[in-house]
Amino acid sequence: MPGKASPAPTKGLMMERIVGWSSRNPKKVIVGWILLVAAAVLLGDVAGSGAKTTDAGEAGKAQSMIRAQKVTSSYTENVLIEAQNRDRPFLGTPDLENAARDLSGRLKALPGATTDIVTPLDDERTRAALVSTDGRSGLVSFTIPGPGAEADKHFAEIKKELGAVQDAHPGVRFAMAGDISLTSAIDKAADDDLARAEQLSLPVTLIILILVFGALVAAAVPVFLAATAVFAGLGFLGLVGTVIPANSTVSSVVLLIGMAVGVDYSLFYLRREREERAAGKDASEALKISARTSGHAVVVSGITVILSLAGLFLAQVDTFNGMAIGTIIVVSLAVLGSVTVLPALLSLLGRKVDALRIPFLGRSRTTATSSRGWSAIAGAVSRHPIVFGGIALLALVGLALPAFGMKLSEPGQLDSLPRSIPAVDAGVRLQQAFPGGADPAQVVVWGAGATTGAAERAVAELRREAAASDLLGDQISASPVGDVLSIKVPLAGSGTDDTSVEALRTLREDVLPEAFANTPDLEYAVGGRTAGLHDFAEVLKARTAWVIGFVLVLAFVVLVIAFRALLVAAVSMVLNLLAIGAAIGIVVLGFQNGDFADLLGFSSFGGVVNWLPLFMFVILFGLSMDYHVFILSRVRERWARGESAREAVVRGVGSSAGVVTSAAVVMIAVFAMFATLSGIEYKMLGVGMAVAILIDATIVRGVLLPAALSLLGDRAWSLRGRPATAPESDPESVAVSVRAASDENDNDAESLSHAASTTTTRSENR
């Protein structure tokens, strides 16, 4: 009833209490947050080494058997020796042979640095194994004993000696590739990428927010919250990572998602708080209304993201477990900061949040005004929903079509990084001259006789079988590791292509069963990079449907609970799938087909990183809820206060356009920065996520969503799918909601009177 105050709906009470306490105790909240971040960073630093990721399937079994021996590891390195132009044979060319002798002598002179040094000049057997098929390259192979710290020290000494040999033989090309050189190159590239992303993301985000708010202080608030959430997330990840394995990619993903959602959630809240202040509310009332509207939407969005990410645990793969736990941590922190620290900062700053304004930037995009452009687009779409919606639908379907030709693969160590990295270039050259040398299969043998006569006979038979096969190399080495035997078998191909997969199948299904046919007491498992990637793909193929089904059902239930509208939930699901499908289609065109190769500086390996589509699906399904929940909340508010379904769509889209556009620009910019990093998986992730958000914030938000809601009309907001006649709450609560919502963007008496009378009519007709 007019003039009568009434409690807010139950769903907003908890948020109002949290925000109210935070705004009354701002210093406690801010200091507590800073202490939480500091504690997380400290715990992450002292947590120690993280749990190791284990491969899936049979490869994981082989890996676990080796780790169970708890023996000091050793590392194999190879040095490729050839003429600068590869125009001379290795054997019979004095310069090349002398270079091999010189290197071998220097390595032997290093005390304890190397063992098992072999060269093409040793004997007939090594000559056949260590000279390339075309005869133009020779290989010096050796082992560096562990443990890791000692091996790194020896590796540094070896690199120094290799440099001296290079200086002594200027007409000879040396290229070193192996366990330590490639792994250290990958680790360094990952560290450099993360550092570069950190250095770029903060200033770029701050610049965008300065343009959005027009004031330094207001721009700094979301950056502060997002950055501290990321720091705390990385700290907690270091602690949790001692139990749940998380590889180097997870840290970059935490930074990527943390900055994006942290800024998004802050923008949604700041926009509503500014609207309420512009409408004449005092600071306390503005925060309360923001809490039960935008604050509620942020929590719903955050919960949806978290629950969607939990679906990755169903894959039961260490790679996804690490990504899931890392992103869940940082999203939870971003939500917590937005509903506690942000209100505290706004309460403490008051009007000073708009301090240090930047001249000539015009009005802030978070002021309480509607976007004329997006309102005009939404208006045109709502008048002709079939025409505009049909065109947009066909466009997204067309973009998604290439996804049906997607080939899931995994870039090898040599495909992921550019050849400008010396170790990668060396590995490529070695792979070309000695196919299979960089990524051999590892056959782990255990049981009675694994390190004695029975296994030796099997290895001899394995060598004979391999020599007769075009898919297996004959440079087979076998060495005991504790109580098990480790056998290295070179595989043809690049390590990840179809040839390598066929070589792995031949080894597992044909050669090994024949070689171990007369050794009933021995068991074996095939591991190594090729086997690990193949087994991961097989597990993923078997469990992807479960993950997708979980996320779809969960997102649908959350949306139904949030809006109590079956059709709205169903439409949102379909639109999300279209946006994700279109983004994956563009990734296929750009990376699998190589259309973006020159622009982004990579070499296509003919596929899409096998974990990427499922991860993109899960994270984007959660993130897209940001915009859908925010926009749909605005549309439903206006419909609830008596506006027609079409008018509610137009004004809801128009009033939310500024903040959604600003949030999308920030998210797109953060994701796009990852396309500049060196790893091809980062480039794919950055482009895929940026494109998906761009599509979601433009075609979906501006065309398809208004078209769908206009076609559905009042029935969109009904649980039963029939035309709804009133919001699903009692008339008095609706009237209070009407009054609060009416103050949101316009305060003219005629609009308020029309809203109240229409709401009363709907309530009476219910």
Q: Could you please report the per-residue DSSP string of 262-277?
A: HHHHHHHHHHHHHHHH
Q: Over range 191-211, report the average pLDDT.
A: 81
Confidence label for 20 from pLDDT (cuts 50, 70 and 90): confident
SS3 content of the chain, % helix, strand, coil (to 5): 70, 10, 25
Q: What is the model's pLDDT at position 455? A: 82
Nearest alpha-carbon partner for 592 in 702, 492, 684, 463: 684
Are 226 and 317 part of one and the same domain? yes
Number of separate helices (H) and strands (E) present in the chain: 29, 10
Q: Is the domain of 218 the same as that of 334? A: yes
Q: Is residue 746 in a domain?
A: no
**Inter-CA distances, 589 with 97, 375, 392, 551, 584, Å:** 47, 33, 20, 26, 9
User: Which has the minimum average pLDDT: 7-16, 178-187, 275-284, 628-637?
Assistant: 7-16
Q: What is the pLDDT of residue 761?
A: 38
Same domain, 564 and 626: yes
Question: Higher pLDDT residue, 743 or 197?
Answer: 197
CATH at residue 447:
3.30.70.1440
Q: Judge whether 593 and 604 are in contact, CB under 8 Å.
A: yes
171 vs 174: CA distance, rounded Å = 10
Residues 6+ apart with CB under 8 A from 470: 492
Name the CA radius of gyration of the chain, rounded. 31
What tokens appear for 313 in the block?
Answer: 């645990």
pLDDT digits (tens, 9 = 90+) for 77-130: 889 999 988 889 998 889 899 999 999 999 998 888 888 888 888 877 677 778
Number of C-beta neighbours around residue 331 at 10 A: 30
Q: Among the three residues 527, 562, 584, which one is the final residue of a domain in this structure?
A: 527
Q: Which of 746, 180, 619, 64 is nearest to 426 (CA)?
A: 180
CB 580 within 8 A of CB 572: no
Maximum C-alpha span of the chain: 102
My answer on whether 394 and 508 are in the same domain is no
Using the 3D structure, point to which of 168, 185, 202 is the last residue of a domain.
185
Least confident of 8-12, 14-18, 252-256, 671-675: 8-12
Give me the residues paired with residue 83 across strands.
172
* Residue 605: both structure tokens together: 């390996």
The pLDDT score that the predictor gives to residue 29 is 93
Judge whether residue 72 has pLDDT over 80: no
Q: pLDDT category, 361, cuts 50, 70, 90?
A: low
Specify the CATH number for the domain of residue 82.
3.30.70.1130
Last residue of some domain: 320, 340, 361?
361
Task: For residues 325 and 395, state if they share a domain.
Answer: no
Shared-domain flag, residues 225 and 169 = no
pLDDT band, very low/low/confident/very high, at 420 (cuts 50, 70, 90): confident
| Full residue range of the structural domain in which residue 151 is found | 72-185
Q: Is residue 168 part of a domain?
A: yes
Residue 544 in any domain: the answer is: no
Q: Does 379 lie in the same domain as 351?
A: no
Q: What percent of the chain has pLDDT over 90?
A: 19
Per the CB < 8 A criterion, the answer to whether 751 and 739 are in contact is no
Secondary structure element (H or E) that encloses residue 74, with its range: strand 74-83
Residue 290 belongs to a domain with what CATH number? 1.20.1640.10
Q: Is the pLDDT of residue 522 over 50?
A: yes
Give the number of domains in the chain.
4
- Strand residue runs (E) in 102-231: 115-118, 137-145, 172-178
Sign of CA dihedral 640, 641, 647, 648: negative
Specify whether the backbone of 482 is left (phi greater than 0), alpha (psi in -120 to 50) or beta.
Answer: left
The answer to whether residues 103 and 165 touch, using CB atoms and an 8 Å cutoff, is yes
Measure the CA–CA gap between 188 and 181, rounded to whole angstroms: 11
The whole-number average pLDDT for the span 454-458 is 82
| Same domain assignment for residues 295 and 386 | no
Q: Looking at the structure, tell me whether residues 402 and 518 fall in a common domain.
A: no
Task: Give the pLDDT score at 168.
Answer: 92
Q: What's 223's DSSP letter?
A: H
Q: What is the pLDDT of residues 540-584, one digit of tens each?
A: 888 888 999 998 888 888 778 877 788 888 888 899 899 999 999
User: Two tokens at 611?
Assistant: 């974990």
Q: Is residue 591 part of a domain?
A: yes
- The reply to whether 384 and 492 lie within a common domain is no
Distances (CA, A) of 478 to 59, 70, 634, 639: 18, 18, 67, 74
Which of 175-179, 343-347, 394-398, 757-761 bottoms out in mean pLDDT, i.e. has the lowest?
757-761
Say if 500 falls within a structural domain.
yes
The average confidence (pLDDT) of the chain is: 81
Asked if pLDDT for residue 738 goes beyond 50, the answer is no
User: How far are the Cα atoms of 302, 382, 553, 627 from residue 570, in angstroms, in the given order?
Assistant: 20, 19, 10, 16
pLDDT tier for residue 49 given thresholds of 50, 70 and 90:
low
pLDDT tens track for 582-613: 999 999 999 999 899 888 888 888 888 888 89
Query: Higher-confidence residue: 655 or 392?
Result: 392
Please tell me the predicted confidence (pLDDT) of residue 580.
Answer: 92
Residues 514, 396 share a domain: no
pLDDT at residue 733 greater than cutoff 60: no
| Residues 579 and 654 sit within 8 Å (Cβ to Cβ) | no
- How is residue 213 written in tokens? 């708010």
Q: At what angle do helices 148-168 and 179-213 cross, to 10 degrees?
A: 100
Pairs from 357-364 (Cβ < 8 Å, separation ≥ 24): 357/214, 357/215, 357/216, 358/210, 358/214, 358/215, 358/216, 361/210, 361/211, 361/214, 362/214, 363/214, 364/212, 364/213, 364/214, 364/215, 364/218, 364/274
Can you read off the two tokens belonging to residue 300?
A: 């719903």
Q: Which is more confidently placed, 726 or 390?
A: 390
Same domain, yes or no: 143 and 277: no
Q: Is the pLDDT of residue 744 over 50?
A: no
In terms of Cβ atoms closer than 10 Å to its own Cβ (0-12, 13-18, 19+), residue 600 is: middle
Q: Is residue 542 part of a domain?
A: no
| Cβ neighbours around 282 below 10 Å, total | 10
Please name which of 77, 98, 72 lies closest in space to residue 157, comparing C-alpha atoms. Answer: 77
Backbone angles phi, psi at 475, to 5 degrees: -85, 65
Does position 755 have pLDDT exceeding 70, yes or no?
no
| Model pLDDT, residue 55 | 82
Three-state secondary-structure class, residue 176: strand
Establish how many alpha carbons lie within 13 A of residue 620's alpha carbon, considering only the half-sphere containing its beta carbon.
35
pTM of the model: 0.76
Above 70 in pLDDT, residue 752?
A: no
Report the pLDDT averaged over residues 36-55: 83
Q: How confident is the model at residue 189 (pLDDT cuts 50, 70, 90)?
A: confident
Residue 125 CB-density burial (10 A; 0-12 exposed, 13-18 middle, 19+ buried): exposed
For residue 196, tell me if it sits in a domain.
Answer: no
Residue 737 has pLDDT above 80, yes or no: no
In a domain, 432, yes or no: no
